[in-house]
Amino acid sequence: MNSFERRNKIVELVHSQGSVLVLDLSNAFGTSEVTIRADLRLLEDKGLVTRFHGGAAKPGSNLAEADTQEVMLEDRYKLASDPKKRIAQAAANMIAEGMTVILDSGSTTLLIAEELVKKTNITVITNSLPAAFTLAENKDITLVVCGGTVRHKTHSMHGTVAEQSLHGISADLMFVGADGIDATNGITTFNEGYSISGVMASAAHNVIAVLDATKFNRRGFNQVLPMNKINCVITDSSISKQDVAALEKTGVELRTV
């Protein structure tokens, strides 16, 4: 995909979702956040988007903030597409008191963390530094943060040390996002450092993939988890009938919100 095609796709995403985040776009297109910010500046100059700190929205949207105005992390993710928020709420509703939960890194799992911070008497294990920072506000949550090497692009912990820290862990649920999903290849990503997701999945009784409908039939370079390792997919109601039918053939539970 060349820069012209990438920018056209960004405009399509802004108009279909209302707003987009730099981190999500960087992951989706497999390019640096610096490149995405340059794209957004060019698109804003053309009047096609309005930038806010960490992303962009439709021109004239009251969600958009001036580029010089700092937006709090919680508010920044609320500016993301509404489907991700609904997916995060549905995921959080699956978690009962006394459960142990694993959260992989990503923007949707961070939104799940923001929902979980309201709960009590749960244990959350995560390699996401933003999620850990959010959950640390609640003293009634037992928070376990994976050690390891920081991957700066996603602000998450990876590598041998991170994976070893999960050995012997037994969790009720694991939530994982991805850049793409299809019935043949499972969930995939454009990123490196995805191997920890497989270790997390092995440590959980049930694995739930949390992806908005735009991720269907997109394939990243690397397979995160095959479909036979996924128990449930939570997505939004704009998923196509064809994608529903393909997913149903795999036997994976599908929840739409």
Where in the sequence of the chain do the CATH 1.10.10.10 domains occur?
A: 3-78
Residue 60 backbone phi and psi in degrees, to 5: 80, 0
Q: How far is CA 149 from the centre of its chain?
A: 20
**Residues 249, 82: contact at Cβ < 8 Å?**
no
Q: Is the confidence at residue 16, as pLDDT, over 80?
A: yes
| 29 C-beta neighbours (distance < 10 Å), count | 19
What would the pLDDT profile of 194-215 be if each residue is shown by its tens digit? Answer: 899 999 999 999 999 999 998 8
One-letter amino acid identity for 244? V
CATH of 3-78, picked from 3.40.50.300, 2.102.10.10, 1.10.10.10, 1.10.1040.10, is 1.10.10.10
Nearest of 76, 171, 149, 57 to residue 114 by alpha carbon: 76
Where in the sequence of the chain do the CATH 3.40.50.1360 domains occur?
A: 82-256
User: What is the DSSP code string of 71-114?
Assistant: --HHHHHHTS-HHHHHHHHHHHTT--TT-EEEE-SSHHHHHHHH
**Scanning the structure block, which residue is given the tokens 């279909």?**
16
What would the pLDDT profile of 133-154 be if each residue is shown by its tens digit? Answer: 999 989 999 999 999 999 887 8
Residue 105 backbone phi and psi in degrees, to 5: -80, 160
Supply the pLDDT for residue 222: 85
Q: Which fold has domain 82-256?
A: Rossmann fold (3.40.50)
More reliable by pLDDT, 127 or 214: 127
E-assigned strands of 14-168? 19-21, 50-52, 55-57, 100-103, 122-126, 141-145, 149-151, 156-158
What would the pLDDT profile of 82-114 be if each residue is shown by its tens digit? Answer: 788 899 999 999 999 999 999 999 889 999 999
What would the pLDDT profile of 25-62 be if each residue is shown by its tens digit? Answer: 988 888 888 889 889 989 988 889 988 777 888 887 65
Q: Is the confidence at residue 169, as pLDDT, over 90?
A: yes
Strand order in the sheet with 171-176: 141-145, 122-126, 100-103, 171-176, 204-210, 232-235, 253-256
Q: What is the mean pLDDT of the chain?
A: 87
